[in-house]
Chains A and B, each alone.
Chain A
Amino acid sequence: MNIIIVGCGKVGSTIAEQLQIENHDVTVVDIDEEVVNELTYKLDIMGVVGNGTSNTVLQEAGISDADIVIAVTEMDEMNLLCCLIAKKTSNCNTVARVRNPIYSNETEFLKKELGISMIINPELAASQEVSRLLSLPSVIEISTFANGKIEILKLKVEKNSVLCGMTLIKMRKAIPGNVLICAVEREDEALIPTGDFIIEAEDYIYIIASKKDSQLFLSSLGLFTDKVKDTIIIGGGGLAYYLATDLLYLGLDVKIIEIDRERCEELSELLPKASIIHGDGIDESLLLEEGLTTASSLVALTNLDEENIMLSLYAKKISGEKIKTVTKINKITFDEVISSLNLGSVVVPKNIMTEHILQYVRALENSYGSNVETMYRLVNGKVEALEFNVNEDSEVVDIPLKSLNIKKNILISCINRKGKIITPGGDDAIHRGDTVIVVTTESGLSDLSEILD
């Protein structure tokens, strides 16, 4: 598809890079010449230097042929205006980033009147992610398919877990809950396990199952499946506000520690049911005073990545593994280092926004006829989990899986047959009309038939 991205900040450039890899024709627009030059030199895309709200500039970027315009500049107003002009000029799909909470409350109105297809509020999106993580505290990452019916959950195998030393075949027999381990992260390496794979302590396993089965599996392992009962949030920004609203609604006890007096006053008016504490979150004594040792979760949402990292590490140190920690990371990109630290779940708002936008693009492309419905990247980007529609008769249809000559490092993890979730064994076959979830270390799969050797 022809895609125009306005705004080449971190989000814009990451989206551009990913979409170009997925073979779309991408043009970026930014007012900063250096940024545009840098990107067009590095990636197989075209660039236009100029103001993305100007019709002339958009024309130069090829708006008349564009399928989607994604506006992710720093300013909400620019993004909205850009989408409005794009829609008027060419009736394409438009996506805008809007962070100001004033607009967030009016998204439906904006979408309808300005004709914008999708409005993303990065902080709201991130808060929804944190909420989900808090509802399944033993889980580190959650990715969903089939409108939430199928989940891939990332878990750590602790030293005392019953899973240590088990092969996958044994695990399926021993532990109730029809789940499949579709990927394993062991010491920075990504592995697609076969039946005789032995699980070891300190492994991070990705299990795929229906919601029901994953609950059963987790509780059989003795891992808490109950949501946390309370939370301490450090940092009272926009994300904290959205998160607190959601958690309060779900009945949790929420405590927010915020360093700015005025903001504290604001928060106490906005969130009357929450405890607002005025203080510096990285003050050890304050944390202990406010009950860190008995808290069931801690969410570190300050503006400084370093502080958030220290807070989570400290919480884990003081309370042990029973406390669920969520760490917000804004800028730091040393992924391998971050994943080696015991930070619990890590939430990167920009990545979340990027993922949402990419999902939207893929869904749109899917409606244009491609077969990939959803895609996620696991294990630091080394593993892809793709949800394929099986529309036409392809070579993989109606043949038992054990007879299919599938390439190494590809696993057919799940089949969704008209709402029925099947964890496939060797005798199951793929039927027309199914959706199939494939997990692989190979990148660039765009059709189900490519899994065959």
Chain B
Amino acid sequence: MNYSMIFYLIGWTLNAMAGFMTLPLFVSLYYGESSYLYFIPVIAVSLVLGISLVHKKPKNTVFYAREGFTSFTSVALIWIVLSIVGSLPFIISGEIPHFVDAVFETASGFTTTGSSILVNVEKMSRGMQFWRSFTHWIGGMGVLVLLLAIVPLVGGHNFQLMKAESPGPAVSKFVPKIKKSAAILYAIYIAMTVIQIILLVIFKMPVFDAVVTAFGSAGTGGFGIKVDSMASYSWQIQLITGIFMMLFGVNFTVYYLILTKKFRQAFGSEELRVYILIIALSTLAITFDAGEYFNGFGETLNHAFFQVSSIITTTGFATFDFNVWPTFSKSIIVLLMFIGASAGSTGGGLKVSRIIILTKSVYRELQRTLRPRSVKKVRFDKKPITDDTVRSVGVYLAAYFLVFSLSVLVLSLDNFDFTTSFTATAATINNIGPGLEVVGPAGGFSEFSDLSKIMMIFNMLAGRLEFYPIFSLFYLPFKR
């Protein structure tokens, strides 16, 4: 394993962090707050550590192609460093004094979960609110992807890093050079964020709110600056946010294909079509089920769409306390939590492509069992589903299940009701944010014990990085 490479990457991450933190610093100065003082020491320390670590470029820039350790462990460590260093401003300023709470909130930010331990977010300073939401934006597309785009990183093995950090069963390249691919991703990401901000401001959302909401939608995170999340904004603002959340949950390759005018390929994506279908059906189902809470069909549709879009993309914004909805609607919501967004987007969950592959592999297995002599290829997006594909998705599901079970068990020690422990686990592993009951949209995570919070931090990181990078840290001692 290439240790010098790992430290080099952590060094760049720290430098990047220092860079990122300058934005909330300026926001804080703009609003005339004192919170900027707390960013300065963290920026300084990050920069000093960062520069000293990147000073010596690692001599051996090779990670042997099939050796996954270095890339996976780097990614895991980088995200842990992000969560801890990113929490320092909250701790130093006293706005989130308790260490575990601060790391929880920060991890929730970077992993774009959106679960919060804050009881009243509106009391937080603008600078800190901005930083909190900005972590969503950074974590959504990924820190390593950003570094790959702008930093002269090493060797031709950058693809392994990108693959380790990016969600989904397969990562595709747009163009031969990784640097360009990463730059293209970020360009699309930035453009969409800016468009959303502009649209929100046009519909009379205050600029600060618009920026924060756009960050939360782009990263599909869900941190807001109001206790009632998005409930008090106008229906137009809610609709725009609903649409943009849905857009950020689409595989970014589709956007690249659209930009390069390959429309048929773009809209022919099976995952895209299933994704839209699920959203459409769920929205309609909830509209007919939860109508009693709203005035009229239009309003119901708007709220249903918003909530479906928010949960399937694992954003977590809410326009209504859906905890009071009828059980059918709530069940749909919970199932959407597991389905998740498309691969290659900023969303979490199992991912629509995995769901499709799993479903089709059941069909395939059925074919083989009932008609063993018949030869029929089951395809996903024109490629046949091979034993390898089924195996890797199946094992992923197993990893998911193991972590899920452990979490439910640990959380149950706090003695909340079962739905709470269950949906709190679901909300953190799938990087959604709110769950049901105690952790519903009207509640929060503040009442859990420190042990549970630590378990949930693990869930959030494991879910965002898709398990294996985090697992690799535990595998280290057994490596020999």
A contact set with B: CB distance below 8 Å: 17, 20-21, 25-27, 38, 40-46
Residues of A within 8 A of B156 (CB): 17, 20-21, 42-45
Number of A-B contacts (CB under 8 A): 31
A25 and B175 contact, CB distance less than 8 A? yes
Query: Which 9 A-B pairs rank lowest in CB-CB distance, beginning with the nearest?
Result: A44-B156, A42-B65, A46-B176, A25-B176, A43-B156, A45-B176, A46-B173, A44-B178, A26-B176
Q: Does B302 contact A (CB under 8 A)?
A: no
Q: Which residue of A lies closest to B172 (CB)?
A: A46
Query: How far is A44 from B159 in the complex, measured between Cα atoms in Å?
Result: 7
Residues of A within 8 A of B160 (CB): 41
A46 and B175 contact, CB distance less than 8 A? yes
Q: Does B330 contact A (CB under 8 A)?
A: no
Q: Does B157 contact A (CB under 8 A)?
A: yes
Known A-B contacts A45-B176, A46-B175; A40 and B65 likewise in contact (beta carbons under 8 Å) = no
Q: Mark B168-194, 1 if CB is under 8 A from A, else 0.
A: 000001011110000000000000000
B159 and A40 contact, CB distance less than 8 A? yes
Shortest Cβ distance from residue A389 to the other chain B in the assembled complex, whole angstroms:
26
Q: Which residue of B lies closest to A23 (CB)?
A: B177
Residues of B within 8 A of A25 (CB): 175-177
- Taking A40-B159, A44-B177, A46-B173 as known contacts, 17 extra A-B pairs with beta carbons closer than 8 A to each other, sorted by chain A number, are A17-B156, A20-B156, A20-B176, A25-B176, A26-B176, A40-B173, A41-B65, A41-B159, A41-B160, A41-B163, A42-B157, A44-B158, A44-B159, A44-B178, A45-B156, A45-B176, A46-B175
Q: Which residue of B lies closest to A25 (CB)?
A: B176
Query: How far is A401 from B181 in the complex, measured between Cα atoms in Å?
Result: 43
Residues of A within 8 A of B178 (CB): 44
CB pairs A–B below 8 angstroms (24 shown) = A17-B156, A20-B176, A21-B156, A25-B175, A25-B176, A27-B176, A38-B65, A40-B159, A41-B159, A41-B160, A41-B163, A42-B65, A42-B156, A42-B157, A43-B156, A44-B156, A44-B159, A44-B177, A44-B178, A45-B156, A45-B176, A46-B173, A46-B175, A46-B176
Q: Which residue of B lies closest to A27 (CB)?
A: B176
Shortest Cβ distance from residue B130 to the other chain A in the assembled complex, whole angstroms:
36
Query: Among A17, A20, A42, A44, which residue has the most Cβ atoms of chain B within 10 A?
Result: A44
Mark out the residues of chain B between 94 and 128 whose CB falls within 8 Å of any chain A CB in the assembled complex: none
Query: How far is A84 from B160 in the complex, measured between Cα atoms in Å?
Result: 36
Residues of B within 8 A of A42 (CB): 65, 156-157
Query: How far is A198 from B363 in the complex, measured between Cα atoms in Å?
Result: 75
Residues of A within 8 A of B157 (CB): 42
Q: Which residue of B lies closest to A44 (CB)?
A: B156
Query: How far is A17 from B160 in the complex, measured between Cα atoms in Å?
Result: 16
Residues of B within 8 A of A45 (CB): 156, 176
Query: How far is A41 from B173 in the complex, measured between Cα atoms in Å?
Result: 10
Residues of A within 8 A of B177 (CB): 25, 44
Query: How far is A46 from B180 in the complex, measured between Cα atoms in Å?
Result: 12
Query: How far is A417 from B158 in the complex, measured between Cα atoms in Å?
Result: 43
Residues of B within 8 A of A26 (CB): 176
Q: Which residue of B lies closest to A3 (CB)?
A: B176
Q: Mark B44-73, 1 if CB is under 8 A from A, else 0.
A: 000000000000000000000100000000
Query: How far is A38 from B158 in the complex, measured between Cα atoms in Å?
Result: 14
Shortest Cβ distance from residue A16 to the other chain B in the assembled complex, whole angstroms:
10
Q: Which residue of B lies closest to A21 (CB)?
A: B156
Query: How far is A43 from B156 in the complex, measured between Cα atoms in Å?
Result: 5
Q: Which residue of A lies closest to B180 (CB)?
A: A25
Query: How far is A25 from B173 in the complex, measured between Cα atoms in Å?
Result: 12
Query: How far is A41 from B160 in the complex, measured between Cα atoms in Å?
Result: 7
Query: How far is A42 from B63 in the complex, measured between Cα atoms in Å?
Result: 9
Query: How far is A43 from B177 in the complex, measured between Cα atoms in Å?
Result: 9
Query: Among B157, B163, B175, B176, which residue has the most Cβ atoms of chain A within 10 A?
Result: B176
Query: How far is A203 from B159 in the complex, measured between Cα atoms in Å?
Result: 41
Residues of B within 8 A of A21 (CB): 156
Query: How far is A46 from B158 in the complex, measured between Cα atoms in Å?
Result: 13
Residues of B within 8 A of A38 (CB): 65
Query: How far is A41 from B175 in the complex, measured between Cα atoms in Å?
Result: 14
Query: How far is A43 from B178 in the complex, measured between Cα atoms in Å?
Result: 10
Query: How far is A25 from B175 in the complex, measured between Cα atoms in Å?
Result: 8
Mark out the residues of chain B between 112 and 171 whose CB falls within 8 Å of any chain A CB in the assembled complex: 156-160, 163
Query: How far is A40 from B177 in the complex, measured between Cα atoms in Å?
Result: 10
Shortest Cβ distance from residue A366 to the other chain B in the assembled complex, whole angstroms:
21
Query: Among A17, A27, A40, A43, which residue has the most Cβ atoms of chain B within 10 A?
Result: A43
Query: How far is A106 from B175 in the complex, measured between Cα atoms in Å?
Result: 37
Residues of B within 8 A of A20 (CB): 156, 176
Residues of B within 8 A of A40 (CB): 159, 173
Residues of B within 8 A of A46 (CB): 173, 175-176
Shortest Cβ distance from residue B142 to the other chain A in the assembled complex, whole angstroms:
18
Residues of A within 8 A of B158 (CB): 44
Query: How far is A43 from B175 in the complex, measured between Cα atoms in Å?
Result: 13
Q: Which residue of B lies closest to A28 (CB)?
A: B176
Query: How far is A17 from B176 in the complex, measured between Cα atoms in Å?
Result: 12
Residues of A within 8 A of B173 (CB): 40, 46
Query: How far is A26 from B163 in the complex, measured between Cα atoms in Å?
Result: 19
Q: Which residue of B lies closest to A24 (CB)?
A: B176
Shortest Cβ distance from residue B391 to the other chain A in the assembled complex, whole angstroms:
15
Shortest Cβ distance from residue B76 to the other chain A in the assembled complex, whole angstroms:
20
Q: Which residue of A lies closest to B64 (CB)?
A: A42
Query: How far is A38 from B159 in the complex, measured between Cα atoms in Å?
Result: 12
Residues of B within 8 A of A27 (CB): 176
